[in-house]
């Protein structure tokens, strides 16, 4: 029986490594995408994997195997492909030999540490889901005198300004005068969660470092450095959670195509 699996056209373009799904939808609206020779007028189209999709008259490139990299994000970079304020982004600082990649979650401008990068958007979304069950571990330097009993209460979750945060494992590492270091582990990873929770107790964060994301560790990776996770390790670790969405087959009727290079530098997400 033939495979009747269908996908949105924008999703197939994104998985081919040309751009993000959102950008692919804009390309469709601009009339740059055709399906079996007919220019698409709407992004709300689902097609089989074997459909012939072209962008600017060129067939989609063959799909690469899923890959994952550890990146030690420095402070002062935003985790976006294009920043309206003109700030430096992580994608401007990545090695030129990397293919187009997306980040697994984000770290804000002043946060540093482990950021995972992948060439597969489906894997990124899978890793970000709370249902996957992967903990994110951080070290935070805060201003103020930390009360260990207050930290212990975070294990039951906390509501801050109407936002409910799930259980957080937190422990005081050491108090140094008016500053303290805290280690935290959480599984939701809501926007600025660590900073907002600690500031709620009157402990503003002056430094925040992500040490690990699920089974992947920052280790001794130097600031700004990138290291690829071996394919075997990636397969093993993904197998421990719910399976990520299946990757589509290469565009079966498109024939060979030139591989997109360094797209993370020139195509916004």
Q: Which residues are catalytic?
A: 108
E strand or H helix at 180: strand 179-186
Sheet-wide strand order for 33-35:
38-39, 33-35, 53-55, 58-59
CB atoms closer than 10 angstroms to residue 116 = 22
Of the candidates 55, 61, 100, the residue with the CA atom closest to the CA atom of residue 81? 100
Written as six digits, the tokens of 76 are 């002062």
Cα–Cα distance between 64 and 173 in angstroms, integer? 43
Phi, psi of 190 (to 5 degrees): -70, 165
Cα–Cα distance between 55 and 130 in angstroms, integer? 34
Q: Which residues contact 77 (CB under 8 A, 6 or more apart)?
A: 87, 88, 89, 90, 93, 109
């Amino acid at each position: 029986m033939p495979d009747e699996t269908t996908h949105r056209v924008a999703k197939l373009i994104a998985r081919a490594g040309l751009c993000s799904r959102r950008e692919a939808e804009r390309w469709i609206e601009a009339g740059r995408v055709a399906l079996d020779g007919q220019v698409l007028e709407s992004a709300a189209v689902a097609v089989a994997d074997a459909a012939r999709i072209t962008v600017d008259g060129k067939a989609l490139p063959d799909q690469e195997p899923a890959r994952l990299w550890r990146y030690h994000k420095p402070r002062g970079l935003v985790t976006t492909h294009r920043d309206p304020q003109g700030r430096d982004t992580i994608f401007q600082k990545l090695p030129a030999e990397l293919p187009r990649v997306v980040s697994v979650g984000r770290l804000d401008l002043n946060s540093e540490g482990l950021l995972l990068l992948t060439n597969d958007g489906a894997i990124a979304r899978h890793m970000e889901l709370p249902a996957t069950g992967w903990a994110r571990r951080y070290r935070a330097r805060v201003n103020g005198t930390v009360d260990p009993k207050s930290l212990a209460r975070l294990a039951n979750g906390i509501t801050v300004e109407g936002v409910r945060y799930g259980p957080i494992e937190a422990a005081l590492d050491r108090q140094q005068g008016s500053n303290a270091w805290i280690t935290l582990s959480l599984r939701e990873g809501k926007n600025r969660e660590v900073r907002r929770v600690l500031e709620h107790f009157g402990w503003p964060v002056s430094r925040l470092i992500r040490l690990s994301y699920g089974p992947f560790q920052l280790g001794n990776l130097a600031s700004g450095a990138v290291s690829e996770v071996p394919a075997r390790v990636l397969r093993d670790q993904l197998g421990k959670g719910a399976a990520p969405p299946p990757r589509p087959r290469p565009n079966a009727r498109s024939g060979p195509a030139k591989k997109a290079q360094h797209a993370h530098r020139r195509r916004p997400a």
